[in-house]
Amino acid sequence: MQEFIMEQERSKLTRTYSRTAAVLSALAMGLGQLYNRQYMKGVILLAVHALALYTFIFRLPHAVWGLVTLGETETQLKKVGRLYKQVMGDHSVFLMIEGLVTVFVALIFIWIYVMNIKDSYRTGKMREQGEVPNTFKETVSFVLSYRFPYLILAVPLAGVFFFTIMPIVFMILIAFTNYTATHTPPKNLLDWTGFEAFRELFRIKEWSRTFYSVTLWTIVWALLATLTGYFGGFAVALLVQQKRIRFKSFWRTLFILPYAIPMFVSMLILQNMFNGQFGPVNQYLELFGIGKIPWLSDPTWAKVTLIIANFWVSFPVSMLMIIGIMSTIPQDMYEAADIDGASAFQKTRMITFPCVMYSMAPLVIMSFVGNMNNFNVIYLLTNGNPINGDFQYAGDTDILITWLFKLSMENGQYNFASVIGIIIFILLSAFAIWNVRRTKAFKEDTSS
Amino acid sequence: MSRKIRGSIWLSVSYVLLAVVGVFSVYPALWVIMSSLRTGNSLYSETLLPTALTFGHYANLFDKYDFARWYVNTLKIAVTTTVVGTILTLLPGYAFSVFRFNGRKTMMSTLMVLGLFPGFMSMIAVFILLNLMNLLNTHIAVILVYAAGAPLFFLFAKSYFDTIPKSLVEAARMDGAGHLGIFFRIVMPLSTPLIVYTALSIFAGSFTDFIFAKLVLRTPETKTLAVGLFDMISTRQSTDFTTFAAGCVLIAVPITFLFILLQRLLTQGLTAGAEKG
C-alpha cells in the first residue's frame, strides 16, 4: 500500500516534465531542451531564436509594408542646393522580391518554432516514462540514419525553392499589378490592380481574339507534334527491328543524328533549308518542276513546316525508347503466334502495339504537355511569324509560351504575360497531376 | 504469290524506306557541313557538293569572331553544371526511390509539376534575384540557375533506381553498410546508364541553351557559343552564312560524337526509366 502511494507521488511529480518543457520552449526556442538536459541542442535553438527575433523585429515590418504598398515615394527631381537632382524613390519590384524572401524566411522560423515545442514536449514525455533523453551525439546519429532522405533532399530542394518556386510566386503576383513597359519601376511605382488584367484579357476584343486563336493553335500543335513524333518513331522502330534487316545498329546510329545535334543549331539550319528564296528544299522542288512553296511566309505552310521540323527532331527519341521496350517483350509470344500462323501485321497489332502502348502511354501524355510548352522549335524556326495584324503582339504560329515570351521580354507587357503564365500553369498542372497519379512510379508505392 | 516472294519484296521495300529515312535524318547535317566548306558566304548554292573547297570559314571563326573564348566559356559552364546538376538530380531520385518518409508524395508531385514549366516563364524574377545577389553577367549565375533547375527532372532517376533489386540494398545493410556506403558502393556502380543519360542531357542542355544565357551574359567576354552564334546570324542578316555553318559544325560535332559513342548506355538508361514511366 505504501509503495503504491509512493508510486503515485512520483508520477505526480514527474508528469509535469512534458508540460514544463513545452511551456519553456514556447517562451523561447531551446529553453525546453535545456530543461530536458539536452544542452547542445538547446544552445543551438537559442541561437536560432535570436536570429528569428532579429528578423521579426527589424526585417518583417518593412517587408510587409513593401508587399502591401509596393512603395510610397516616387522617384523625382528634387532641388538640392541649387541643382535639381534625381532622388531615387522606392523600387516596387525590389520591394516585392525582398518582401517575399523575408516572409518565406519568417514562415520557416515559425515552422522551426512549432517543431521545437513538439520536440521538447516529446522528450519530456520520454522522461516521465523514465527514459533518458538522447545526448547530442545520439541525436546526430539518429538524424543521420533515420532522417537521411531529408538530409540529401535539403540542398536540391533549396535550389528549386529559390530559383523555381520563388520566381513563380513572383510571376503570379505580377499578374495583379499594373506592371507594363510604359509603367516600370524605378520611374513609377507599381500598384495592386487585382483582377484588372484578367478582365481586360477577356473583355477587350483584340486581346481575347488573340488569346483564343493562340490557345487553339497551341492545342492543335501539341496534338499533331506528339502524334507524329510518337507514331513516326514507332514505325521506324518496327522497320529497323525486323528480323531480316541487317546492320541494325548502323541504321539506328544514322537515325539518332537529328536527336544528337543541339536543338538550336538544327532549328537554325532548318530555318535556312526552308528559306523560300534560296533554301535547298525549294531548289529541289523547282528541279522536279514543282513551284516554290512559301514554307515560312504563309501562315498555313509555316505551321506545316513546324510540324515537319518537330517530327525531325522528335522521332529519334521515341524510336530509341520503343526499341528498348520491344526488346523486353518475351519472344515466346511471337513463337506462339507463329505456330498459330499469324501474319507479321497481326503480330504487330496484337502483341507489339499493346505491349509498347502499355509502357509508353504516360510518356506520350507527358510529351503532349511538353509540346504545349515547346518554346525552342517555334521560337527558333518561325519566331511566331508570319505576323498577323489582327493579333496583339503575336504572329500566326505563336503558341501560348512564345506569346508569353514576346509579351514580357520584347514588349514589356509584364502583367498580361503573367496572366498567360497563370493560365498555362493551371492548364498544365491539372493535366500533369492527373497523369502522374496514374503512372507506375507512383502507384507501386501504395503497398508500402 | 508465295509467302517467300512476298517476304523478299517487303524486305526490299523496307530497305528503301530505311534509306529514305536515313537521307531525311542526315541531310540537314550534311548540307551544313558542305556549306561550311563552300567558298563565298551565301546560303544559295547550285549543288550540294561544293565545287571548290575551303577551310577559310573555320579560320574566320577564330579571326573575325572570338570563337575560342566562347568555346572555353561554354565548356566551363557546361562541365560545372553537369557535375553539380547530376548530383542534384541523383540525390532526390535516390531518396524518393529507396526511402519512405512524410511528405514524400507531395514533394514528388510538386517537383513533377514544377518541372513542366519552362524556366524562363519566371525569368524576370530570376533576373532580379541575380541582380540582388550581384551576379549579373557572371558565369556563376548561369551555372547556379541551370544546376538548381536540374532536380526537377528527378523522376527518371527515381524510376531507374526502382529497378535495382531491394534485396541487394537490404543485404548490404545487414552487412553493416551505412547509407552513404550503400549509395556509393552498390547503387552507383549499377547505375552507369542512368548517370550517363542524366549527365549527357544536362551537358547538352547547358551547352546549347541560349535564351537564359543571352539574358544574363551581356558583355562579349562572357558570351557562350550559343549566344555568339545566334547573334552572328540575327544581327548580320545571314550575310555570313557559311561562317555560321562552320560554327554549327564545331558545336554539333563534339555533342553528336558523345551521343553516338554512348548510344548503348543511353538506350538502356532511357528504357529502364521508360518502362516504369
Q: What is the pLDDT of residues B136-151, one digit of tens each?
A: 889 999 999 999 989 9
Average pLDDT over residues A203-228: 92
Average pLDDT over residues B5-22: 89
Taking CB atoms and an 8 Å limit, are B48 and A428 in contact across chains?
Answer: no
Chain A, window 214-273: residues with a beta carbon less than 8 angstroms from a chain B beta carbon: 236, 239-240, 242, 244-245, 251-266, 268-270, 272-273
Assess if residue B17 is contained within a domain. yes
Residue of chain B nearest A425, judged by CA positions: B117
Q: Is A84 left (phi over 0), alpha (psi -120 to 50) or beta?
A: beta
Q: How far is CA A159 from the centre of its chain?
A: 13
Give the CB-side neighbour count of residue A201, counting CA atoms within 13 A: 22
Give A83's strand partners: A80
**For chain B, what is the mean pLDDT?**
84
Closest partner CB to A280 (pick from B31, B42, B271): B31
Point out the domain boundary residue: B9, B37, B53: B53
- A306 pLDDT higher than 50: yes
Residue B277 lies in a domain: no
State mean pLDDT over B195-220.
87
Which residues fall within 8 angstroms of residue A249, CB to CB, at 6 or more apart? none
Instruction: Among A4-18, A103-117, A402-416, B54-68, name the one with the lowest average pLDDT.
Output: A4-18
CA distance, residue A323 to nearest chain B CA (Å): 8
Interface probe, candidates A163, A282, A378, chain B, greatest B C-beta count within 10 A = A163
Q: Tell me which residue of A375, A178, A418 sits closest to B125, measured CA to CA.
A: A418
Q: Are residues B108 and B235 in the same domain?
A: yes
pLDDT in tens, A155-179: 999 899 888 888 888 888 888 988 8
Task: Give pLDDT, residue B75.
Answer: 93
Indicate the helix (H) or strand (E) that contains A239. helix A205-240
Return the ∠ at Cα A231 (arms to A225 and A232), rounded to 5°. Answer: 80
Peptide bond into A186 cis (omega under 30): yes
Report residue A444's pLDDT band, with 50, 70 and 90 as the boundaries: low
| Closest chain B residue to A282, measured at CA | B44
Q: Would the pLDDT of B79 be above 90?
A: yes
* Residue A206 confidence (pLDDT): 86
Mean pLDDT of A286-305: 86
Could you tell me the CA-to-CA distances from A399 to A206, A272, B214 in Å, in that order?
A: 16, 22, 21
- What does the block give as the cell for A113? 518554432
Residues A124 and A21: their CA atoms lie apart, in Å, by 6
Q: What are phi and psi of A389, to 5 degrees?
A: -65, -25
In this prediction, residue B276 carries a pLDDT of 46
Euclidean distance between CA atoms A378 and B169, whole angstroms: 46
Degrees, nearest 5: CA angle B124-B128-B134: 145
H or E segment and range at residue A401: helix A400-405
Pick the most confident of A97-101, A154-158, A367-371. A154-158
Which residue in the set B25, B43, B104 is minimally distant from A272, CB to CB? Answer: B43
Residue B9 lies in a domain: yes
Among A288, A390, A320, A126, residue whose Cα is nearest residue B265: A320
Query: Are B46 and B66 members of one domain?
Result: no
Q: Which of A262, A320, A323 sits opposite B207 (nearest CB)?
A: A262
Give chain A's count of helices (H) and strands (E): 22, 2
Size of chain B, expressed as the number of residues it contains: 277
DSSP A182: T
Question: Quick check: B188 pLDDT over 50?
Answer: yes
* Same-domain check for residues B40 and B127: no
Q: Is residue B178 part of a domain?
A: yes
* Helix A92-128 and helix B123-132, axial crossing angle in degrees, nearest 10: 80
Predicted TM-score of the model (pTM): 0.81
Domain containing residue B87: CATH number: 1.10.3720.10
Q: How far is CA A288 from CA A270, A280, A285, in A?
A: 21, 13, 5
A14 pLDDT above the threshold of 60: no
Distance of CA A440 to the CA centre of its chain: 21
- State the pLDDT at residue A439: 63
Q: Which residues pair with A86 in a beta bridge?
A: A77
Q: Range with the lowest mean pLDDT among A333-337, A426-430, B194-198?
A: A426-430
Say yes or no: B100 and B205 in one domain.
yes
| Residue B1 structural domain | 1-53
Q: What integer is the mean pLDDT of A104-127?
A: 89
Same-domain check for residues B37 and B111: no
In this structure, what DSSP letter does residue B236 have? Answer: T
B3: contact with A, CB 8 A cutoff: no
Rounded Cα–Cα distance for residues A20 and A28 (Å):
13
Residue A442 or residue B131, greater confidence:
B131
User: Is there a single domain that holds both residue B149 and residue B85?
Assistant: yes
pLDDT score recorded for residue A222: 93
Q: Is the pLDDT of residue A447 over 50?
A: no
First vs last Cα of chain B: how many Å apart?
A: 44
pLDDT of residue A446: 43
Banded pLDDT at A5 (limits 50, 70, 90): low
Q: Compute the distance between CA of residue A204 and CA of residue B264 in angstroms, rounded to an integer.
A: 55
Decide which of B34, B53, B72 is a domain's last residue.
B53
Check if B78 contacts A (Cβ < 8 Å).
Answer: no
Burial environment of residue B53 by CB neighbours within 10 A (0 to 12, 13 to 18, 19 or more): exposed
A284 SS3 class: helix
Q: What is the pLDDT of residue B86?
A: 95
Query: For chain A, how many residues are written?
Result: 448
Q: With an 8 Å Cβ cutoff, is A180 touching chain B? A: no
CB contacts under 8 A, A 346-365 vs B, are 359-363
What are the backbone angles phi and psi of residue A142, rounded to the nearest 5°? -65, -45
Q: Touching check for B17 and chain A: CB below 8 Å?
A: yes
The kind and range of the H/E element at B105 are: helix B104-115
What per-residue confidence (pLDDT) applies to A13? 58
The answer to whether residue B255 sits within a structural domain is yes
Chain-wide mean pLDDT for chain A?
84
Backbone φ and ψ of B144, nearest 5°: -60, -50
B15 and B100 fall within a common domain: no
Q: What is the pLDDT of residue A236?
A: 92
**Among candidates A187, A192, A188, which has minimal Cα distance to A173?**
A192
Instruction: Quote the Cα angle for A133-A137-A141, to 5°.
Output: 100
Domain annotation covers residue B229:
yes
% chain B with pLDDT above 70:
91
Here the cell at position B1 is: 504469290
Residue B260 maps to a domain: yes
Indicate whether B131 and B25 sit together in one domain. no
pLDDT of residue A285: 86
Q: Give the contacts of A188 (CB within 8 A, at least 6 positions apart).
A: A74
Task: Sketch the domain layout of chain A as residue ranges.
Answer: 10-194, 199-447
Confidence band, pLDDT 50/70/90 cuts, at residue A304: very high
Query: Is B162 an 8 Å CB contact of chain A?
Result: yes
Q: Which pLDDT score, from 0 to 100, does residue A243 have?
A: 82
Are residues B87 and B73 part of one domain? yes
ipTM: 0.82
Question: Which chain B residues are closer than 8 Å to A269 by Cβ?
Answer: 28-29, 31-32, 245, 248
**Residue B65: inside a domain:** yes
pLDDT in tens, A432-441: 777 766 665 5
Asked if B24 is an interface residue toward chain A (Cβ–Cβ < 8 A), one would say yes
Count of domains for chain B: 2
In angstroms, the Cα distances linking B53 to A202, A279, B65 are 58, 20, 21
Residues B15 and B122 in one domain: no
- What fold does the segment set A199-447 form as a domain? MetI-like fold (1.10.3720)
> Which residues in chain B have their CB less than 8 angstroms from residue A405's CB?
120
Torsion of CA A371, A372, A374, A375, to 10 degrees: 180
Going by pLDDT thresholds of 50, 70 and 90, the confidence category of residue B274 is: low
